[in-house]
Amino acid sequence: MSASAPAASPWLSPELVEDVSRMIRTVPDFPRPGIQFRDITTLLQDPTGFSHVIDAFCRMITSAGANAVAGVESRGFLIAAPVAYALKLPIILVRKQNKLPGEKVGLDFKLEYGKDRLEIHKDSIPQDGKVFIVDDLLATGGTLEAACQLVEMVGGTVVGTGCVVELPELNGRNKVKHDVHTLIQYQGE
């Protein structure tokens, strides 16, 4: 299966999977040679496509029983914020190192092409926080799993995770110890 024939999603109809996948630009050799970067900025520029994505995430998060939404820097914020607004839920920011001003907890992790660090405010989780974590892309799973661990480190319960795009050949969902939901899966390439 190629990018022109993405896998089905329980959160979007087959027609919408096709439509939304066409709105995601593939940038070859970015950020390094051999990488096929799935760029959601072209999806964000299409109000109809973006609204279908937000609606799907609203259904996903409601189904999980979340009472808070966490967005992973930075494109995860672009999905988490409108979803949190639509569902009237608090939003939690999972940020890169030294971006949060308050007391925070951090975690180092490996990326598909390097390593990084994420941080979260110690006081960001609501009481009895059932948190759904959102990001744009699931590749090797390191970023998403680090976000899950951070939410748990500050007292939250992760009730699910969701990404717009998944690259299943990298087996990222196997690294994440919580339910993983995705809208578009690109096989191969």
Dist CA 76 CA 6 (whole Å): 21
Each residue of 104-150: pLDDT tens digit?
Answer: 999 999 876 778 999 999 999 999 999 999 999 999 999 999 999 99
Each residue of 30-58: pLDDT tens digit?
Answer: 988 988 899 999 999 999 999 999 999 99
**Which residue is catalytic, options 112, 117, 169, 189?**
112
Residue 54, number of CB atoms within 10 A of its CB: 17
**Which residue is catalytic, options 38, 73, 75, 119?**
75
Dist CA 176 CA 81 (whole Å): 22
Q: Would residue 112 show up in a list of annotated catalytic residues for this protein?
A: yes
Each residue of 92-106: pLDDT tens digit?
Answer: 999 999 999 999 999
- For residues 124 and 92, is the Cβ–Cβ distance under 8 A? yes
- Global pTM reads 0.94
pLDDT reported for residue 35 = 86
- For residues 83 and 59, is the Cβ–Cβ distance under 8 A? no
Per-residue CA distances from 166 to 100, 116, 155, 183 (Å): 28, 20, 28, 8
pLDDT reported for residue 126 = 93
